[in-house]
């Protein structure tokens, strides 16, 4: 059986309306700077695993946020896949 040892908390740093960084506040289970390095190395290692990322995302709640606004930037009219003809005139003899 695995033990889950809390080592701190992660906070997002926001400037105005934009998130610019994150910060880790280590707790009493991290005794020194070497311990902090070990924790950060483990986090970096885990972030390289899409399976780990997926497992963490799946623990997040699915709450509806009524005041959230989605801002879209860039070209939303062009077809992102040029191999697909968006006009529907595809050659069926190919």
Distance in angstroms (rounded) separating the CA atoms of residues 3 and 22: 26
More confident residue, 12 or 70: 12
Q: Kindly state the DSSP code that residue 55 receives in the 8-state scheme.
A: H
Beta bridge partners of 22: 12
Predicted local distance difference test score (pLDDT) of residue 76: 61
Q: Where are the beta strands (DSSP E) in the chain?
A: 8-15, 18-26
Strands 18-26, 8-15: pairing is antiparallel
Distance in angstroms (rounded) separating the CA atoms of residues 26 and 35: 10
Domain boundaries in the chain?
8-57
Predicted local distance difference test score (pLDDT) of residue 94: 45
pLDDT tens-place string over residues 32-81: 999 999 999 999 999 999 999 999 999 999 988 776 566 667 666 666 66
């Amino acid at each position: 059986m695995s033990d889950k040892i809390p080592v701190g908390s992660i906070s997002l740093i926001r400037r105005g309306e934009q998130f610019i960084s994150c910060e880790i506040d280590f707790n009493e289970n991290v005794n020194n700077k070497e311990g902090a390095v070990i924790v950060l190395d483990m986090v970096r290692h885990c972030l390289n695993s899409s399976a780990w990322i997926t497992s963490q995302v799946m623990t997040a709640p699915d709450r509806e946020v009524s005041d959230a606004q989605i801002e879209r930037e860039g070209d939303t009219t062009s077809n992102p896949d040029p191999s697909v003809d968006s006009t529907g005139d595809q050659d069926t003899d190919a």
